[in-house]
Structure 1
Amino acid sequence: MTVGDPNIRTAAALQAKYKYMDFTCLQSSMTRGGQTLNFPTRPCPAGIMVSIRFPTCWDGKNLDSPDHQSHVAYPNGNACPASHPVTVPQVFYETYWNTRPFNNQADWPTDGSQPFVWSFGDKTGYGIHGDYVFGWKGDALQRAMDQNCNSDLFSNSINCNTLKVQSLADANKCTISRKVNEDLDGWLTKLPGDMPIM
């Protein structure tokens, strides 16, 4: 299942189809509120958080669709549309980008614009998108839902006796070696792979 479209470049186009994806300019790691649909336009003391909420209504027939989106839909208020009557658990994730090394506004573009660009060439942020690939083994997801498992994001703990979990430190030990020798850190004059900025 995917959500969003990397080709979108306006707030109106994003809101017309995808209403639950946004950015938060973090004042601290506890910041909630002040979301925008575009990249933040000022330095963010604790970095930038991207929130992606996937649709919670399913057509009840198709496990996928050619565009990986049409088989699911967002609810209208609290109700699923007639075309997608089956409610499913929501997939939601937040990604924190450590943009603190770029907080000196004197280093930002002189025209007052913000300096960030998605790797696919979007300098607006409206091309925000996410992918979800189902990877639960066996009946693990059903067991977690049956036990009402939950997590405390602030203390990085998962409350779920039925699942085997690992610490964030252990998860971060899983790395992939770099396959292409390109500069990926600090201020870049061009995107990796010479991707054009659009």
Structure 2
Amino acid sequence: MLWAPYASLALLAPSIHALLRFSCSQLVIERLDPLVNPGEKQSPHVHQIIGGNAFNASMDPTISPSDEATCTTCTFAEDFSNYWTAVLFYRAKNGTFKRVPIKQNVGFESASGGMTVYYTPILQGKAKVTAFKKGFRMIVGNPSYRTEAEAKKFRQLTYTCLQNMNTRTGETLDFPKKACPAGIMVNVRFPTCWDGVNLDSPDHMAHVAYPSSGTFESGGPCPASHPVKLPQLFYEVIFDTTKFNDKSLWPTDGSQPFVWSFGDQTGYGNHGDYVFGWKGDALQKAMDSNCNINCPELKTQSIATGNKCAQAQKVKENLDGWLTELPGGMPVV
């Protein structure tokens, strides 16, 4: 069973009482991962990173990104968190690769690529959520997964084949098998229950869990092992696959031509990473006040200002043009 994501304002379900929905422009695209490969000069595969410019190969959990960052790509100016996903590539018939560009979501047309980020405090009833704490970090998904059965271990990691920019139905666990007229939207929803003690865990997952039944959206209860209800953190990333929609460019065996930067051509390895970095108690205030899109309790900046926040690549390599292999030499498996 799949669950539909939140949509643009006109498409929001009546049960949604409040949510933060905002744009974060692209900070940098490169091979670094301070969670899975902390301290390493380069990670195995390429990521798209958004948020505060304190992002680095080593991010000390005792130091908040908000204490080190000097700017953020997000429209809420107190959010110096870092959010990242893998990057999508098109694989041509001759075996070469081309990075698929990332485009803006509906309502954020002046943003520079990046993502749309959601924090949802309440959907059903009046259950209070506890905002993430300083030092909190987590991962959802597994880049080694290649089967539907494995992908189903994570309830809400999906793809939407955009018929137009407002399409919010027809989610799948694997890559769309037909050309998508407006691109492919990747949906990354994180678990919403916390053990209340650990800000991280060795696998960056064990300290969080899904509701014991139902979903966050349906008001599902948290399991006894993870009793603290967190906001629903959700990313939407839109890859502009339209330049590759000509069927003559697709494999002749009927398969689709897109592959993740970690070598996954199925889509089942979809995953996302998060390092909390909101300043002070800004996020908790927003959650307590049930801010809905606009939030007077938070400081904002223009999308144009967010676009100016960028970070030079630390792992210098060509990520544009036609490549003979995926960056880092990742095999397609």
What TM-score comes out, normalization by structure 1 length?
0.89
Name 1:169's counterpart in structure 2.
304
Structure 2: how far apart are the matches of 1:149 and 1:93? 18
CA apart distance, 1:91: 0.8
Higher strand share: 2
Structure 1: how far apart are the matches of 2:225 and 2:234? 22
Name 1:197's counterpart in structure 2.
332
Name 1:4's counterpart in structure 2.
141
Three-state SS of the structure 2 residue aligned to 1:170 is helix
Residue identity opposite 1:196 in structure 2? P
| Match runs of 1:15-164 below 5 Å | 15=152, 17-75=153-211, 76-77=213-214, 78-151=220-293, 159-164=294-299
Structure 2: how far apart are the matches of 1:102 and 1:188? 16
1:184–1:192 Cα contact (<8 Å) kept: no
Structure 1: how far apart are the matches of 2:192 and 2:146? 25
Give the number of equivalent residue pairs. Answer: 189
Same amino acid, percent of matched pairs: 63
Q: Cα–Cα, structure 1 residues 28 and 188, in superposed 2: closer, same or farther, change >3 Å?
A: farther
What TM-score comes out, normalization by structure 2 length?
0.54
CA apart distance, 1:183: 4.6
Structure 2 unpaired stretches of 5+? 1-137, 215-219
Structure 1: how far apart are the matches of 2:244 and 2:310? 25
CA apart distance, 1:180: 2.6
**1:84-128 Cα deviation digits (max 9, x unpaired):** 122111111111111111111110111111111110111111000
Structure 1: how far apart are the matches of 2:264 and 2:303? 30
Three-state SS of the structure 1 residue aligned to 2:284 is helix
